[in-house]
């Protein structure tokens, strides 16, 4: 053993500490259920040895595990260290990085740092590789860092390679502890606690190829019914024959089909035997890791990302961009197989926070990942989260009410160059730039969510991916056409969805884009009704879209809108469906007007506008009938009044709450809306079954498991609800 120690020391130098597995030749007999290791240590000075003895645990206290190489802090001894057999209770702890249990005998090395916190060695080595030199639990800055040696084949040609004696565990790698480099000058330490210098390639065309089995799964679904339902509702079903109407309203209602399930005879790659037949997703998450994200925020963000990773399928691909003063791609667009999940979890849990907030750079890098990818999954989206003001792109003198036009040029487009990839944006806390973030989501076709409390990050992400993982229709276009020579369109009220009318006002269209399973869309169209007899055919509605799984274009049969023309109508009953959608659109318009008044400083006028809208809605036909949507709108408007009670309250949460509401109503899609229970029923109106299921899964997971770094996090008290 002495000769081996000398050879290893001479080869690697005196500044490295190498751990070599013990063998029977070293004089120890094998032990059941445990392994032994020999420690090769550099020659240390007496002063450094004394310091180490006073500040760090001994090697025998710090090496635990089985079946792999065990790194520890270097100590001045070359005696063999036998791994502990006893104390199973001490191993019933969770690795703070991968959140899995650490137990001996599972084939994973455990590393105990100088601050006495223990991790899987492969997890903490990846943590260090991605730029962290602080303990993920207590944030202690380490003096020495564990890192994994190069993989087979990574050695430069002609370089020496040293293997442990008779030891090929851990891929034949040497497990080494590397001391941290000293700062060149005091107070000028490089940005190591945040993002390392960007070493990404200039073109991100290194995405992982798609699953070859997806085509076979796609072919097995030929003939499945996956059609969008179209319904129409005229404002009145009867109009007197001699009467003409100038602004007669017709409601066009769309509903996406259910998400289908597929029973497979064998287990899927991720271990599930029952999978959902859905289109796979390319998801890019752009995460703010600036200095303001330190502590609980970053810990909860990591847990939320862990939930996202665990709920992506093996055909889905993920790439993560982290940004602070600069932006860095943590790993390429990669399939979430078991290996992909482990690697992405390690990368995410290696994140540390520091620096400023450069949203534009993060968005630019996320867009480049999408544009440069070689393969493309049918569904693609960006998730962007930030908790602060952009300190690089937006001028401080621009004002909070002005959006940053620079962001628009950074948004990604699909391969045809005409449809943008939606960016679903999450504004976190009271200090984020809700105006700029809302503008990013609106321009790209995504949603803006307001995460008011830290603990709500995971649920907000869960609701979003619950929709993204259930897309059943893409590039959906609605076509409307007049069926009577004297019937012309006056307007199409479609919210944020792009709509067009022909010059002759006899044809129109709406670009709806993607629809999640069971999502609904409602559009109001104004037409003129000429005098007529018997029955008048007003218009016909059809739609065309692409099934993302079958990759086929589906043309839906046209639905006609007709009204009866009796000679006399005693009582005209307005359609409840039309009336409630009129209330929804009117409420959204008032919200926007009230926000403009609030930005001008006239909060009293803003509150008055909201109050008038509440009275109008509850006095309408649908409001009087107890319609649930009208009740939810009333609760939401009341909530906005409370958040506009004073300037401080509006700046802290009112602006973001209103913008999130406008995003939700304009796209008719669920968004996170703060922590108000009064508006919960409104959110449910836009939620789909897939979103609800994912939310329940998130809430169940949050109750059943709490990562070590969040065990001491205090829960945030619920904000008192307005009366």
CA 47/CA 63 separation, integer angstroms = 23
> How much is the average pLDDT of 215-241?
75
Which uninterrupted H or E stretch holds 286?
strand 281-288
Does residue 2 register a pLDDT over 60?
no
- pLDDT, position 44: 36
Look at 24-28, 228-232, 604-608 and tell me which has the smallest mean pLDDT: 24-28
Q: How confident is the model at residue 122 (pLDDT cuts 50, 70, 90)?
A: confident
Please give the pLDDT value at position 96: 73
| Residues facing residue 245 across a β-bridge | 529
Element (H, E) at 493: strand 489-493
Residue 637's closest CA among 582, 597, 587, 687? Answer: 587
Is the pLDDT score of 683 beyond 60? no
Quick one: pLDDT band at residue 116, thresholds 50, 70, 90?
confident
Q: According to the model, what pLDDT value does residue 474 have? A: 94
Q: What is the pLDDT of residues 154-198, one digit of tens each?
A: 333 333 333 333 333 333 333 334 444 443 333 333 333 334 434
Mean pLDDT of the chain: 76
| Parallel/antiparallel/unpaired status of strands 423-428 and 379-386 | parallel
pTM (predicted TM-score)? 0.70
pLDDT at 298 over 70: yes
Q: How far apart are CA 466 and CA 481, in angstroms?
A: 35
Per-residue pLDDT reduced to its tens digit, 445-473: 999 999 998 889 999 999 999 999 999 99
Edge-to-edge strand list for the sheet holding 118-120: 63-65, 109-112, 118-120
CA angle, corner 473, sides to 489 and 589, nearest 5? Answer: 45
What was the pLDDT predicted at 55? 42
The pLDDT assigned to 82 comes to 35
Contacts of residue 98, defined as CB under 8 A and 6 or more positions apart, other chains included, come to 120, 123, 342, 345, 346, 349
pLDDT tens-digit profile of 482-505?
A: 999 999 999 999 999 999 999 999
Share of the chain above pLDDT 70, in %: 66
Alpha-carbon span 274 to 277, nearest angstrom? 10
Cα gap 441→380, rounded to integer Å = 15
pLDDT of 424 strictly over 60 = yes
Q: What is the 3-state secondary structure (H, E, C) of 390-411?
A: CCCCCCCCCCCCCCCHHHHHHC
Q: What is the mean pLDDT of residues 697-707?
A: 75
- Alpha-carbon torsion, ordered 692, 697, 702, 705, to 10 deg: 180
Q: Is the pLDDT of residue 656 over 90?
A: yes
Lowest-confidence range among 16-30, 69-83, 679-693? 69-83
Q: What is the model's pLDDT at position 414?
A: 61
237 near 577, Cβ under 8 Å?
A: no
Q: How confident is the model at residue 618 (pLDDT cuts 50, 70, 90)?
A: very high
* Range from 212-226, 436-450, 602-616 carrying the lowest mean pLDDT: 212-226
Percent of the chain with pLDDT over 90: 53
DSSP states of 294-317: TTHHHHHHHHHHHHHHHTS-TT-E
Which residues neighbour 396 within 8 Å (Cβ) at sequence distance 6 or greater?
Answer: none
Over the stretch 362-404, which tens digit does the pLDDT of each residue have? 999 999 999 999 999 999 999 999 998 888 765 444 444 444 5
């Amino acid at each position: 053993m002495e000769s081996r120690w000398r050879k290893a020391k001479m080869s690697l130098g005196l500044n490295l500490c190498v751990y070599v597995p013990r063998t029977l030749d070293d004089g120890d007999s094998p032990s059941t259920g445990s392994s032994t290791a020999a420690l090769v240590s550099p020659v240390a000075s007496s002063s450094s040895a004394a310091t180490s003895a006073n500040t760090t645990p001994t090697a025998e206290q710090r090496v635990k595990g089985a079946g792999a190489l065990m790194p520890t802090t270097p100590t001045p001894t070359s005696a063999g260290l036998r791994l502990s057999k006893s104390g199973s209770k001490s191993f019933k702890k969770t690795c703070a990085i991968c959140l899995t249990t650490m137990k001996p005998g599972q084939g994973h090395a455990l590393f105990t740092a100088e601050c006495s916190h223990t991790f899987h060695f492969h997890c903490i080595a990846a943590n260090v590789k991605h730029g962290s030199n602080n303990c993920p639990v207590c944030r202690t800055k380490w003096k020495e860092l564990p890192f994994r040696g190069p993989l087979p084949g990574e050695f430069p040609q002609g370089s020496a390679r040293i293997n442990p004696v008779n030891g090929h565990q851990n891929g034949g790698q040497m497990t080494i502890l590397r001391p941290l480099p000293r700062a060149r000058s005091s107070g000028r330490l490089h940005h190591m606690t945040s993002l390392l210098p960007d070493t990404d390639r200039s073109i991100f065309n290194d995405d992982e190829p798609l699953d070859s089995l997806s085509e076979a799964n796609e072919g097995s679904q030929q003939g499945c019914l996956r059609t969008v339902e179209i319904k129409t509702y005229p404002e009145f079903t009867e109009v007197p024959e001699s009467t003409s109407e100038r602004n007669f309203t017709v409601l066009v209602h769309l509903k996406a089909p259910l998400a289908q399930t597929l029973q497979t005879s064998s287990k899927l790659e991720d271990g599930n035997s029952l999978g959902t037949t859905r289109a796979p997703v390319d998801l890019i998450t752009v995460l703010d890791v600036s200095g303001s994200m330190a502590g609980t925020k970053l810990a909860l963000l990591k847990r939320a990302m862990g939930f996202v990773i665990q709920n992506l399928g093996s055909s889905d691909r993920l790439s993560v961009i982290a940004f602070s003063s600069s932006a860095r791609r943590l790993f390429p667009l990669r399939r979430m197989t078991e290996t992909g999940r482990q690697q992405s979890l390690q990368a995410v849990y290696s994140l540390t926070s520091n620096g400023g907030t450069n949203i534009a750079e993060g968005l630019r890098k996320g867009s480049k990942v999408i544009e440069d990818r070689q393969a493309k999954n049918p569904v693609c989206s960006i998730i962007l989260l930030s908790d602060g003001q952009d300190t690089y792109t937006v001028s401080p003198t621009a004002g909070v009410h002005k959006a940053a036009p620079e962001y628009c040029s950074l948004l990604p487009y699909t391969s045809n160059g005409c449809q943008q990839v939606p960016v679903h944006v999450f504004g976190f806390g009271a200090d984020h730039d809700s105006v700029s973030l809302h503008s990013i989501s609106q321009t790209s076709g995504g949603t803006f969510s307001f995460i008011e409390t830290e603990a709500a990050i995971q649920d907000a992400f869960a609701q979003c991916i619950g929709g993204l993982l259930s897309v059943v229709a893409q590039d959906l276009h609605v076509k409307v056409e007049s069926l009577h020579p004297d019937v012309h369109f006056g307007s199409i009220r479609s919210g944020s969805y792009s709509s067009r009318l022909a010059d002759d006002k006899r044809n129109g269209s709406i670009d709806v884009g993607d629809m999640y399973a069971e999502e609904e869309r409602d559009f109001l169209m104004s037409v003129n009704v000429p005098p007529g007899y018997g029955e008048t055919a007003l218009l016909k509605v059809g739609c065309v879209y692409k099934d993302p799984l079958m990759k086929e274009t589906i043309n839906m049969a046209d639905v006609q809108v007709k009204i009866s023309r009796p000679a006399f109508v005693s009582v005209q009953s307005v359609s409840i469906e039309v009336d409630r959608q009129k209330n929804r659109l009117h409420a959204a318009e008032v919200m926007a007007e009230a926000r403009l008044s609030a930005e001008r400083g006239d909060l009293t006028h803003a509150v008055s506008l909201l109050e008038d809208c509440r009275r109008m809605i509850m006095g309408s036909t649908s409001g009087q009938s107890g319609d649930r949507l009208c009740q939810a709108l009333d609760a939401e408007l009341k909530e906005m009044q409370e958040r506009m009670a004073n300037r401080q309250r509006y700046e802290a949460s009112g602006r973001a709450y209103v913008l999130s509401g406008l995003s939700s109503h304009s796209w008719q899609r669920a968004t996170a809306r703060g922590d108000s229970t009064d508006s919960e029923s409104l959110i449910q109106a836009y939620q789909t079954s897939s979103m609800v299921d994912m939310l329940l899964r998130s809430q169940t997971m949050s109750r059943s498991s709490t990562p070590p770094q969040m065990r001491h996090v205090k829960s945030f008290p619920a904000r008192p609800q307005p009366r």
